[in-house]
């Protein structure tokens, strides 16, 4: 979502790196480019003014003029100010001292509240909580059914005493009472001992009095500990107006950004926290129930500035990787066993559990410069590789070298690929296998015991040490040099007997032990038995 903004800011900072000192004109030009980039990203005008004013004031201060690298100092200032307008510190749920903790979801229709209710429930369930979903949206057609489906996929129970609107019109059915459903859901949570209650409420296509009144009535009935305002991150400048209207009409304690994986400019994410004064707590980053994460302002600022988000990547790996399989693989490599295609398939399946490969690569620092390659990356390539490996026999997975030309054609036919794809995979795997062997032996750091040279470092002579002379295989074609070589061979002394290195060692002479100053009692070791 922040690709365009990230590219603009990265380009601006790149121009600063060529300057040893920054003048006031340089800072003004940089701030001007930042202002344009933020406005193009649909960030609210008051937020842009506040942000650029703070950046300019700090950039003209002593912290930049006295810095060894002014360009890096500017990037540091922009990063800190971005963290500030995104909310500063990470904010988590305030759990009730006496369960259940009641969480009320509010927002416009189409913002993704119902799906997000399931994502939040699954997230809390993974933390050891026992959430209960309440279907209090009785107005949108089939909203109750959708929540039941989402709850079933998340493995979370749904309290839905009323079927809700089953027609095509967005009207409240006769006899439906969303407030009563929410109140009954709270009583059920007490009876069944659920420690978290998530209430899904109705939304509208726009802010109106009926929406505000119904949300206020549900709020008063269940007295929520947290009111989360779900906002579509793709609606641009209108996000600020909607958020302000909900803050005045219902009030909320935190913001959840949905559809953060979209291709919109993302100004809502940079505006809503600063305008409303309420922190962004969660972000929905995809269609799957697992595409949900805690919002960290510092990490999001790093993503925008193309510094990556390695911490989130590590957290996802810890969550999805099987520790037992990882330990087993480490033990196998330490024992010197070969890395097989079966092992490769297991590792690839664990990577798939982490989600989109593009998303993972995008969290690495500097990947903004490879955005075109990332965009062209085909996620289905992983499935093709898996199909190829599964088309092999167990023996071929253990030892790919036994795969001949005929078998390669059969594997290609079985996996729906080509022989060229099989050859490329086996060639890449052979390189990976060699690398794993090198790592198992401790290779990679030059000059350390038991470790080989890094690629491209072998054969270079180190400073301060004379390289060994080259071995002359034949006589020189130059007559003078050839005569010098012949004289050198003729005058070179032969190594004496008993000398392995030609150092001129002499035969030892008889020595009288009594003439040596030896420790007391040592003379008994010099005599024969």
Nearest Cα neighbor of 96 from 175, 161, 190 is: 190
Distance CA 283, CA 286 (A): 9
Residue with tokens 């399946």: 349
Is 109 labelled a binding residue?
Answer: yes
Q: Is the dihedral of CA 92, 286, 122, 242 positive or negative?
A: positive
Is 202 labelled a binding residue?
Answer: yes
Is 92 labelled a binding residue?
Answer: no
Is 112 labelled a binding residue?
Answer: yes
Is 111 labelled a binding residue?
Answer: yes
Is 108 labelled a binding residue?
Answer: yes
Is 290 labelled a binding residue?
Answer: no
* 459 C-beta neighbours (distance < 10 Å), count: 7
Distance CA 397, CA 342 (A): 6
Is 263 labelled a binding residue?
Answer: no
Distance CA 68, CA 273 (A): 34
Query: Which residues lie closer than 8 Å to 40 by C-beta, 6 or more apart?
Result: 4, 5, 8, 265
Distance CA 185, CA 216 (A): 17
Is 110 labelled a binding residue?
Answer: yes
Is 317 labelled a binding residue?
Answer: no
Is 114 labelled a binding residue?
Answer: yes
Residue with tokens 């790149």: 14
The verdict on whether omega for the bond into residue 515 sits within 30 degrees of 0, i.e. cis, is no
Reading the block at residue 230, the tokens are 């779900």
Interhelix angle 419-440/380-390, nearest 10 degrees: 90
Query: Which residues lie closer than 8 Å to 439 by C-beta, 6 or more apart?
Result: 333
Is 127 labelled a binding residue?
Answer: no
Is 248 labelled a binding residue?
Answer: no
Residues at the binding site are 107-114, 200-204, 258-261
Residues at the binding site for GTP are 107-114, 200-204, 258-261
């Amino acid at each position: 979502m922040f690709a365009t903004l990230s590219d603009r800011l990265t380009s601006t900072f790149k121009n600063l790196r060529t300057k040893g000192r920054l003048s006031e004109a340089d800072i003004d030009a940089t701030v001007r480019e930042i202002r344009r980039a933020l406005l193009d990203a649909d960030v609210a005008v008051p937020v842009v003014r506040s942000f650029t004013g703070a950046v300019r004031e700090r950039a003209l201060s002593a912290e930049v003029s006295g810095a060894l690298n002014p360009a890096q100092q500017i990037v540091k200032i922009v990063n800190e100010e971005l963290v500030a307008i995104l909310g500063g510190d990470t904010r988590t749920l305030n759990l009730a001292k006496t369960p259940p903790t009641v969480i009320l979801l509010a927002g416009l229709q189409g913002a993704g509240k119902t799906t997000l209710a399931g994502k939040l429930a699954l997230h809390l369930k993974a933390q050891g909580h026992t959430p209960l979903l309440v279907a209090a949206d009785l107005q949108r057609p089939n909203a109750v059914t959708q929540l039941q489906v989402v709850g079933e996929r998340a493995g979370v129970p749904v309290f839905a005493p009323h079927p809700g609107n089953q027609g095509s019109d967005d009207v409240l059915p006769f006899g439906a009472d969303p407030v009563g459903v929410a109140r009954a859901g709270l009583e059920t949570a007490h009876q069944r001992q659920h420690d978290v209650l998530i209430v899904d409420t109705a939304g509208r296509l726009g802010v109106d009095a009926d929406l505000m009144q119904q949300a206020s009535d549900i709020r008063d009935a269940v007295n929520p500990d947290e009111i989360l305002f779900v906002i579509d991150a793709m609606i641009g400048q209108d996000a600020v107006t909607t958020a302000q209207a909900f803050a005045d009409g219902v009030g909320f304690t935190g913001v959840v950004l949905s559809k953060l994986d979209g291709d919109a400019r993302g100004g809502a994410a940079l505006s809503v926290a600063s305008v409303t004064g309420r922190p962004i707590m969660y972000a929905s980053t995809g269609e799957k129930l697992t595409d949900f994460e805690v919002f960290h302002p510092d990490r999001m600022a790093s993503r925008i500035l193309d510094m990556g988000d390695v911490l989130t990547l590590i957290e996802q790996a810890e969550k999805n990787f099987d520790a037992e399989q990882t330990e087993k693989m480490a033990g196998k490599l330490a024992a010197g066993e070969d890395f097989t295609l079966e092992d490769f398939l297991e590792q690839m399946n664990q990577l798939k559990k982490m989600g989109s490969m593009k998303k993972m690569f995008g969290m690495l620092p500097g990947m903004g410069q490879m955005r075109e390659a990332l965009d062209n990356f085909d996620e289905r390539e992983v499935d093709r590789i898996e199909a190829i490996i599964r088309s092999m026999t167990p023996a071929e997975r253990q030892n790919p070298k036994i795969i001949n030309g005929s078998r390669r054609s059969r594997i290609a036919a079985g996996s729906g690929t080509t022989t060229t794809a099989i050859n490329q995979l086996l060639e890449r795997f052979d390189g990976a296998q060699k690398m794993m062997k090198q790592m198992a032996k401790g290779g990679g750091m030059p000059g350390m015991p038991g470790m080989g040279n890094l690629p491209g470092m072998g054969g270079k002579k180190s400073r301060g040490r004379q390289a060994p002379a080259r071995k002359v295989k034949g006589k020189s074609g130059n007559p003078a040099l050839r005569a010098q070589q012949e004289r050198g061979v003729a005058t070179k002394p032969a190594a004496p007997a008993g000398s392995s290195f030609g150092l001129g060692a002499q035969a030892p002479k008889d020595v009288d032990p009594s003439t040596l100053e030896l420790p007391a009692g040592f003379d008994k070791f010099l005599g024969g038995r």
